[in-house]
Amino acid sequence: MPNKVEVGAKLKKTDAPSYILEVMELRTPEGNLPHARTRVCISHFDLGVRLYSVSALEDTRLFLPIGPLQAK
């Protein structure tokens, strides 16, 4: 089941559980797929802001929600 990506959602990488993303903003540039601006932390170290496609964040093979299961 895909993850629900919304502002405030927290996700972790399946192959690196200490790699944590928090969705800060959702945007869909004209003519492109939806993307999420995220704050990235690894083991409590802030790595700054990264842009991910929403389809990648929804893929449970790549990312899992932190906390209660979030379904779409």
Report d(CA 55, CA 58) in Å as an integer: 5
3-state secondary structure of 1: coil
Quote the pLDDT of residue 1.
61
Quote the pLDDT of residue 71.
45
Asked if the model's pLDDT at residue 70 lies above 50, the reply is no
Q: What are the extents of the domains in the chain?
A: 10-65
Quote the pLDDT of residue 36.
96
Helices (H), 1-72: 54-58
Q: What is the pLDDT of residues 25-63, one digit of tens each?
A: 999 988 888 999 999 999 889 999 999 999 999 999 999
For residue 26, how many other CB atoms are within 10 A of its CB? 15
Report d(CA 14, CA 50) in Å as an integer: 17
